[in-house]
């Protein structure tokens, strides 16, 4: 599902994220996390940093109506989008460093897809994961590999930096396997295993992807944060315009395709 071109300027970021990014970029990895943890019918699932909820929604299909699914995110607007898509799931606003769970509330499976790298206190978040996993339960965490291993992202960041100066892309800030494995083991998880996986992401409209990626980079740029909304909008449009030289290298029919690489960590409580 995607938004028609005329709707992009009117859509909120959560709407664009859900309709344009989730299917090509996040759903394939959600399926990998589900496959590797195998939630069973009737089990309970927690999705931390759930965004618009693709992991929670995918897990819901496995645990069925007998199961319990909770999604937690710090962003109210992203949760509003999640509720509009799947109102039956228990969506909660909260911080990964202090999960909004009831006394003794635990889950058979806890997921965190592409969220851990953004948390300012990763050890606190990992301890919260451990608190949330029931004895013998499973944890699945995915973090993008360094952008040096994903040339499309690195090349688009270089275009953005012509306009914004240096940008620290937090999406790739926890990309090595060693620190991730150590963090989970140190937090009390057992049987920790971290694999590096790759897949091809395909987008029907490269310019739509470039705009969303540029908006994400601008959100991590100190320079962009100091701009007015109008100034930021003009800079984003300029970056997207300049990104055509990169997009052409990844042309796939009328769209684009490129390799993405991620760590997938599986552990037991």
180-236 pLDDT, tens digit per residue, is 999 999 999 999 999 999 999 999 999 999 999 999 999 999 999 999 999 999 999
Query: Which pLDDT belongs to residue 11?
Result: 65
Beta bridge partners of 258: 201
Centroid of chain to Cα 218: 17
| Total-model pTM | 0.93
CATH code 3.40.50.1000 for 13-148+168-200+259-268? no
Nearby residues of 52 by Cβ (< 8 Å), 6 or more positions away: 14, 17, 18, 22, 78, 81, 82, 85
Using CA atoms, how far apart are residues 204 and 243, in angstroms rounded to an integer? 16
Q: Which residue has the tokens 């898509």?
A: 85
Length, in residues, of the chain: 269
Domain layout of the chain by residue ranges: 13-148+168-200+259-268
* Phi, psi of 137, rounded to the nearest 5 degrees: -75, 180
80-112 pLDDT, tens digit per residue, is 999 999 999 999 999 999 999 999 999 999 999
SS3 state of residue 105: coil
**And the tokens for 14?**
């959560």
């Amino acid at each position: 599902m995607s938004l028609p071109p005329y709707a992009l300027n009117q859509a909120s970021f959560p709407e664009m994220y859900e309709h344009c990014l989730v299917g090509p970029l996040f759903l394939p990895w959600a399926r990998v996390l589900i496959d590797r943890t195998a939630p069973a019918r009737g089990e309970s699932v927690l999705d931390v940093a759930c965004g618009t909820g693709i992991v929670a929604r995918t897990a819901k299909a496995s645990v069925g109506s007998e199961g319990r699914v909770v999604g937690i995110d710090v962003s109210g607007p992203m949760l509003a989008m999640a509720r509009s898509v799947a109102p039956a799931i228990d969506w909660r606003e909260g911080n990964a460093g202090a999960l909004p769970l009831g006394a003794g509330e635990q889950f058979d499976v806890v997921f965190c897809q592409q969220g851990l790298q953004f948390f300012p206190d990763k050890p606190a978040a990992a301890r919260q994961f451990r608190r949330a996993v029931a004895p013998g339960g499973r944890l699945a965490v995915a973090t993008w590999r360094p952008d040096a291993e994903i040339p499309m992202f690195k090349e688009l960041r270089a275009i953005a930096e012509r306009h914004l100066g240096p940008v620290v892309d937090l999406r790739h800030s926890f990309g090595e396997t060693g620190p991730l494995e150590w963090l989970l083991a140190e937090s009390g998880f057992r049987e920790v295993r971290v694999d590096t996986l790759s897949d091809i992401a395909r987008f029907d409209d490269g310019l739509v992807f470039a705009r969303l990626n540029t908006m994400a980079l601008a959100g991590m740029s100190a320079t962009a944060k100091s701009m007015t909304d109008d100034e930021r909008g003009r800079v984003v449009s300029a970056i997207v315009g300049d990104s055509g030289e990169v997009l052409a290298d990844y042309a796939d029919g009328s769209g684009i395709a490129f390799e993405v690489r991620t760590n997938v960590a599986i552990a037991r409580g």
